[in-house]
Amino acid sequence: MKKIIILAAMIGIFWGCDRDEYMVYEDDARLQFGPTPDKIYTQQSEWEDTVKTFSFLSVDADKMLDTVYFDIYSIGVVSTVERRYELEQVVIDSADNAEPGVHYKAFDDPEVSGMYVIPAHSAHAVVPVVVMRDTSLDSREYVLKFRIKENENFKLGDRGKQWRKLYLSDVLLRPTRWSDGYFGTYSKVKHRFMMEQTGLKWDDEYLEIVLSDVSMGYYWQGKFRELLYAYNHDPENKDVPLKDENGWEVKF
């Protein structure tokens, strides 16, 4: 009986640690990234949004600034006042690192630094990363890795949830939420076809909406097959059947 009681207590401790990951602690206030609030206790979504992609090709040609959002959580007693937090870039060796003031608004830029706060009476906030259009994005992809910086308001939380990564370009990039199950193998030609045929961006933000509903996913799968069939049988189109940049026929 004693062994059973000890085992039950140990299970309770481990379960409690898992459940308390985003809940209240009594030590210093801490900060860490996480998924959207509706998914913080969904195990398969624990590391969701760790990496995102953004392409200016998905927005109007004259749009020079846009914003990509991440989610951040405070751990500890919820405060009655607004609390400022800080972020800093992490330079990755042997990578094309995004340049502050060129590809994104620096985190300490007065224009954006005031947005990095945990609101009063809340343990959650969205992290706006303001990205900037630059001609260098036309020819290559840049990466912005950033992490939480300890300050007077927050110490660091879970070590594995201290950073986020954002890939930037002005060319088509495979969205991190792309589903081969619904749309088949990714290609830039296929991605562009989807955008041109529907007028939608088909970026991570829209794919999250589509993939949250199985029926919507299957609807678009069938719809793209119809659109592709119509395209391939339109006598006005000379490049049929539609092939991707590698010479393979596009299929859904």
Model pLDDT for residues 218-236, shown as the tens digit of each residue: 999 999 999 999 999 999 9
Percent of the chain at pLDDT > 70 equals 90
pLDDT value at 24 more than 80:
no
Q: How far is CA 13 from the centre of its chain?
A: 32
Residue 48 DSSP one-character state? T
The whole-number pLDDT of residue 14 equals: 37
Closest by CA position to 40, among listed 147, 129, 149, 158: 158
Domains of the chain, CATH where assigned:
30-169 (2.60.40.2030), 172-251 (no CATH)
Beta bridge partners of 189: none
For residue 182, give the nearest of 250, 252, 243, 249 by alpha carbon: 252
**pLDDT (0 to 100) of residue 25:** 52
153 neighbors 28 (Cβ within 8 angstroms): no
pTM comes to 0.74
Residue 53 — φ and ψ, nearest 5°? -125, 150
User: What are the tens digits of pLDDT across the range 96-152?
Assistant: 999 999 999 999 999 999 999 999 999 999 999 999 999 999 989 999 999 999 999
The helix or strand, by DSSP H or E, that contains position 105, with its residue range, turns out to be none
CB 158 within 8 A of CB 21: yes
Tell me which H or E stretch contains 163.
strand 163-169
pLDDT at 20 over 60: no
